[in-house]
Structure 1
Amino acid sequence: MTDRDESDAPREVPTHAPELPPALASRLAGHAWHRNLVGEAGAQVHRLHRTEGPALYLKHGDGDAATVIADEFSRLQWFADRWPVPRIEHFEWSDGAAWLLTRALPGRTAYEWLADDPARAPAIVTSLGRLLRDLHAQPIASCPFNADHRLQLDLARRRLEAGLIDADDFDDARQGWTPQRVWEALGAMLPLAEDRVVSHGDFSLDNILLSSGDEVVGVIDLGRAGIADRHRDLAILANCLDEFDPALRDTLFSAYGLANPDARRLEFHLLLDECF
């Protein structure tokens, strides 16, 4: 599940603070709250701000969402000296729920830039392709997180059995499909070769922040990052770009330095992404 065409829908709405653990309730008093509506994946995400001090993001949830938030916390720690990721302000696990407070990064999302200024799309996508190439150049021996398709399939199977896969949120190409059909299509594509790299895991337009000069200033939502096939990130980003112009795929692959992406592996990772 990736960025969908939501140009007429709000991406956040004003709201009140949820019930908070005591340490956070004290720390966040006096902030204005907005509920983020993009890509929550089971967690609740809020943007907080006040007249003085940096803007903050609070991500919280329980059950599977709490596990994903805890995974993101550990990955943010590892990526802190390697990539432009949010600074951790607070993390706690309380009564089966996880709370992750981070400092907002500068810039605007790649989705917002593309929607507001389509003429800059080639330059923006070139920056995204180079950024992804640099991430994938990280030495995998130093990365402690596994995110290969075998692990992801196991997680997907558990989500299928628990009824957690939302068919209403499938991409347009799979509207009308059932989660079981997606699972069977995945199985039909196995075995699958891998070209292992350090992968972001949800490299969508809403998770990449750029300055006004097409410079990437940050990436967010790293809860699924780890060693995986390079086509995982390429598939998600290329699929997002189709909303603006399918020809941007060629710009992406050229900037990344991949002349002949594997169409089968791209399709596999899009199917797998529908499960999360």
Structure 2
Amino acid sequence: MTDHDASDAPREVPTEAPDLPPALHARVAGRTWHRNLVGEAGAHVHRLHRPDAPALYLKHGDGDAASAIADEFTRLQWFADRWPVPRIEHFEWSDGAAWLLTRALPGRTAYEWLADDPARAAAVVASLGRLLRDLHALPVDTCPFNANHRLHLDLARQRLEAGLIDAGDFDDARQGWTPQQVWEALGAMLPLAEDRVVSHGDFSLDNILMNGDGEVVGVIDLGRAGIADRYRDLAILANCLDEFGPTLRDMLFSAYGIAEPDLSKLDFHLLLDECF
């Protein structure tokens, strides 16, 4: 699933501050608020601005969204000394809701660079491939988070039974499919031989920030990070790159170091991603 529709606008809108826990309210006083509309996935995301201070992002929600935010908090702590991720400014759990405040990273998203400057596509994709290769080189035995396909198949089944899979949000290749058809197609591709790496889990163009030199300066939205098959990340990123031309995925695999990608694994992980 991609984060962009045909119009791709707007990405954020001005808004008022929500009701905040007291400690958090004091922390963000005097800032202007913008509601982020890209990839919220059940949580509310705001950008907080003040001229004399670094920008901040606040992610908050209750129910399943609160659990996902807490997952992201623990993963940001683990990644802090290992990968370029946002600095945590504040976290709390209050009355069943989670609130995660982070410092904004510099740069623009990889999606924005590709959309605004297509001539730089090759350099951007090469940088993304190197970054993902470095992530997947982290020692697996040091990561405490499980994100393998068996876990996510179980979560997908629960979502299917609860009627939570949105067929209207499927990729173009599966428009007209039902959630049951996606589930059956997944089952037909098992068993999956997993090549275990430290995986981001939602390695899309909107979650990667780059500077004007084309280098990655940070990665966001790590709530689904953990040990999983390497094609989990490759599939999502390759699928995003297809929006900008049919040759970019080949550039990605080359930069990552894969001569012949496993097409079956790419398909499996894209099918699994449709369930979330």
Q: Same fold (TM over 0.5)?
A: yes
2-structure distance, mates of 1:162, 1:39: 22
- Alignment partner of 1:195 is 2:195: yes
Shift of 1:3: 3.4
Question: 1:70 — aligned with what?
Answer: 70
Question: 2:214 — aligned with what?
Answer: 214
The question of whether the paired residues in 2 share the 8 Å contact of 1:111 and 1:206 is answered with yes
The question of whether the paired residues in 2 share the 8 Å contact of 1:4 and 1:240 is answered with no
Shift of 1:163: 2.1
Aligned residue runs from structure 1 range 213-232, under 5 A: 213-232=213-232
The question of whether the paired residues in 2 share the 8 Å contact of 1:201 and 1:222 is answered with yes
Residues 8-64 of structure 1, C-alpha deviations (whole Å, 9 max, x = no match): 421111111111111112222211111111111111111110111110000011111
Q: Which amino acid aligns with 1:132?
A: L
- Alignment partner of 1:175 is 2:175: yes
Q: 1 or 2 for the larger relative contact order (CA 8 Å, sep ≥6)?
A: 1
2-structure distance, mates of 1:27, 1:220: 22
Q: Which amino acid aligns with 1:26?
A: A
- Tell me the secondary structure at the aligned position of residue 244 of structure 2: coil
Question: 2:101 — aligned with what?
Answer: 101
Question: 1:266 — aligned with what?
Answer: 266
Q: Which amino acid aligns with 1:212?
A: G
2-structure distance, mates of 1:47, 1:263: 38
Shift of 1:247: 0.5
Question: 1:44 — aligned with what?
Answer: 44
Bigger shift: 173-182 or 111-120? 173-182
1-structure distance, mates of 2:57, 2:93: 17
**Shift in CA distance, 261/274, structure 1 to aligned 2, threshold 3 Å:** same
Question: 2:238 — aligned with what?
Answer: 238
CA RMSD of aligned residues (A): 1.0
Residues 106-163 of structure 1, C-alpha deviations (whole Å, 9 max, x = no match): 0000000000000000000000000000000001010000100000111111222222
2-structure distance, mates of 1:173, 1:204: 18
**Shift in CA distance, 8/152, structure 1 to aligned 2, threshold 3 Å:** closer
Runs (4+) of structure 1 exceeding 6 A deviation are none
Bigger shift: 90-99 or 74-83? 90-99
Shift of 1:4: 3.2
Question: 1:86 — aligned with what?
Answer: 86
The question of whether the paired residues in 2 share the 8 Å contact of 1:5 and 1:243 is answered with no
Aligned-residue identity in percent: 84
Q: Which amino acid aligns with 1:262?
A: D
- Tell me the secondary structure at the aligned position of residue 54 of structure 1: strand
Q: Mind listing any 5+ residue stretches in structure 1 that lack a counterpart?
A: none
- Tell me the secondary structure at the aligned position of residue 198 of structure 1: strand
2-structure distance, mates of 1:6, 1:218: 27
1-structure distance, mates of 2:226, 2:6: 29
2-structure distance, mates of 1:18, 1:195: 43
Shift of 1:7: 4.3
2-structure distance, mates of 1:194, 1:178: 27
- Tell me the secondary structure at the aligned position of residue 228 of structure 2: strand
Shift of 1:5: 4.1
2-structure distance, mates of 1:32, 1:227: 38
Q: Which amino acid aligns with 1:29?
A: A
Bigger shift: 213-222 or 176-185? 176-185
Q: Which amino acid aligns with 1:196?
A: R
Q: Mind listing any 5+ residue stretches in structure 2 that lack a counterpart?
A: none
TM-score between both structures, scaled by the size of structure 1: 0.98
* Corresponding pairs, count: 276
Shift of 1:75: 0.3
Bigger shift: 105-114 or 174-183? 174-183
Q: Which amino acid aligns with 1:106?
A: P
Aligned residue runs from structure 1 range 90-169, under 5 A: 90-169=90-169
TM-score between both structures, scaled by the size of structure 2: 0.98
Residues 182-220 of structure 1, C-alpha deviations (whole Å, 9 max, x = no match): 111111111111110000000000000000001100000
Q: Which amino acid aligns with 2:274?
A: E
Q: Which amino acid aligns with 1:169?
A: D
